[in-house]
Structure 1
Amino acid sequence: MRAPLSWVLWDVKDTLLKVRLSVGEQYCKEAVKMDLTISPVEVNAAFRQAYQHYSSTYPNYGLAQGLHGQSWWMGVVRDTFARCRVQDPALLNKMAENLYHNFSNSENWEVFPDSEKALKSCSSLGLKLGVVSNFDSRLEGILRVCGLLSHFSFLVTSEEAGVAKPTPAIFLQALQKCGVPAASVAHIGDHYVNDYLTSRSVGIHGFLLDRHNQNHPNVPQEHRLSSLEELPSLLRLHMD
């Protein structure tokens, strides 16, 4: 007999909300305050390089090397601007600190139009909701200022958990909080490996949110959503 669905776990970034402007645009807004003129295109390219360097050298916010979310992100910002020929250490630190706090504000995040309705629909079906996200300690505050926090019974961030997707252990921590078997849990996320494959590897009903209609030939149609508006009817199939 199939276990009834009782929980839905959620990814956050690019699933429920997204960064409102490009990183280059947001970083350049801060640079202008410091009387610096840098093009968003140059900053975007520098950010990609800095982010890749820090992600490979100091994975999951560098927790294993004694870093944490804030120090990691400030390092990424400093490295980004340093690649754009900004050399003043005090200026680099000031911009890094400002941007770290700026990304906690609702002005820098945009909630997708279908997110709120989907979360409410899940609750109306009697399902409990939690978050599993590769994110730092700012996530709770960001969800609060974006008006989404009240929907969730718990949050598991990679900084708090000490492990990040696609490591299955982060989903196992979430399952402990759910207190039910994996077969009674669904997960919604936009990343094929981190969200879809990893959740399914531990027995969770993983569904891939594909807002941009990318071709994922290995994902059955019944596991794929082009919009969160499709979610309630999909979940009902696992509740009957």
Structure 2
Amino acid sequence: MPAAAARCGPLLLRRHPAPRLAATRRSLSSTSSSGMRCVSAATGGEERRSPAYGGLLLDAGGTLLQLARPVAETYAFLGRRYGVRKREEQIMEGFKRAFSAPWPKTLRYQGDGRPFWRIVVAESTDCTSNDYFEEVYQYYAHGDAWRLPPGAYKTLRDLKDAGVKLAVVSNFDTRLRKLLKDLHISDMFDAIVVSSEVGHEKPAPEIFKTALDQIGVEASKAVHVGDDETADKAGANAIGLECWLWGEDVKAFPEIRDRILARDPQ
């Protein structure tokens, strides 16, 4: 998900922050498949229709999950105590450069992703302090560092109620499951497929096929929504799976709901 790096940067870890980290947070805050049912797409007695798709696959970082604050702002704020003096524009340039650089290993996110993210943080800030890295890493481990796009929760609930199978398909490390729980949406999904767990990263066809197998929906009857032209769109299309690019083909979660439930967007 290289193109999504500037918007997501998924650095994640434990459930309860240390007192110093909690104080940091306060400071930042101050500054169609079998079993498908024909249901109403909305309340108010509208005509009942079958969903246009039996399954929805969603990218995580940059699509379903958005940063509560820009990554450069957070890196700079947390780095003050460690001597980070780079301007936010410079931090962002370094972040993009590190994120898009070729990775010599098969997967960027091995296990918890620490080796990769350590390089990203150092390249972004020129700071190699392990304490600084740990603070950044742990900050992004919690749901309050992230947010759902407007209408996402209701969209997922409406689609699930309509019988649409839901899956997350993400190039991410093993902390994603905990993050989805923090945001109270993990139970919405019939499958959560994480690259570091299955050993394949988008655009590899295997990761999409794994998700489709887990939700029991054929590629021709599902749609994937993600924010990267190569990892998401090209990868999905290669196995006959339709893909809507977030921010281009669809720009809001209610629009995703309306298209899947065969309603004309209001």
TM exceeding 0.5: yes
Match of 1:16 among 57, 64, 89: 64
Q: Structure 1 residue 131: deviation in Å?
A: 0.6
Q: Secondary structure at the match of 2:210?
A: helix
Return 5+ residue gaps in structure 1 as ranges.
214-223
Q: Matched residues in 2 for 1:196 and 1:50: separation?
A: 23
1:76 counterpart residue number = 120
Q: Matched residues in 1 for 2:155 and 2:207: separation?
A: 24
Identity of aligned residues (%): 26
Q: Structure 1 residue 167: deviation in Å?
A: 1.5
Task: Please give the TM-score of this superposition, normalised by the length of structure 1.
Answer: 0.78
Q: Structure 1 residue 62: deviation in Å?
A: 6.2
Q: Deviations over 1:39-62 (max 9, x none)?
A: 222222222222233x44446326
Q: Tell me if structure 2 keeps the 8 A contact 1:31–1:38.
A: no
2:211 counterpart residue number = 174
* Aligned residue type for 2:90: E
Task: Please give the TM-score of this superposition, normalised by the length of structure 2.
Answer: 0.71
Whether 1:234 and 2:259 are equivalent positions in the alignment is: yes
* RMSD, aligned α-carbons: 2.4
Highest relative contact order (Cα 8 Å, sep 6+), 1 or 2?
A: 2
Q: Matched residues in 2 for 1:231 and 1:81: separation?
A: 37
Q: Secondary structure at the match of 2:153?
A: helix
Whether 1:45 and 2:45 are equivalent positions in the alignment is: no
Q: Tell me if structure 1 keeps the 8 A contact 2:180–2:186.
A: yes
Whether 1:32 and 2:80 are equivalent positions in the alignment is: yes
Q: Matched residues in 2 for 1:237 and 1:185: separation?
A: 14
* Aligned residue type for 2:259: L
Question: In proportion to residue count, which structure has more helix?
Answer: 1
Q: Cα–Cα, structure 1 residues 133 and 62, in superposed 2: closer, same or farther, change >3 Å?
A: closer
Q: Tell me if structure 2 keeps the 8 A contact 1:9–1:186.
A: yes
Segments ≥4 residues shifted beyond 4 Å: none
1:218 counterpart residue number = none
Q: Structure 1 residue 10: deviation in Å?
A: 0.9
Return 5+ residue gaps in structure 2 as ranges.
1-31, 35-52
2:48 counterpart residue number = none
Whether 1:100 and 2:137 are equivalent positions in the alignment is: yes
Q: Tell me if structure 1 keeps the 8 A contact 2:212–2:218.
A: yes
2:11 counterpart residue number = none
* Aligned residue type for 1:106: G
Q: Secondary structure at the match of 1:156?
A: strand
Q: Structure 1 residue 136: deviation in Å?
A: 1.1
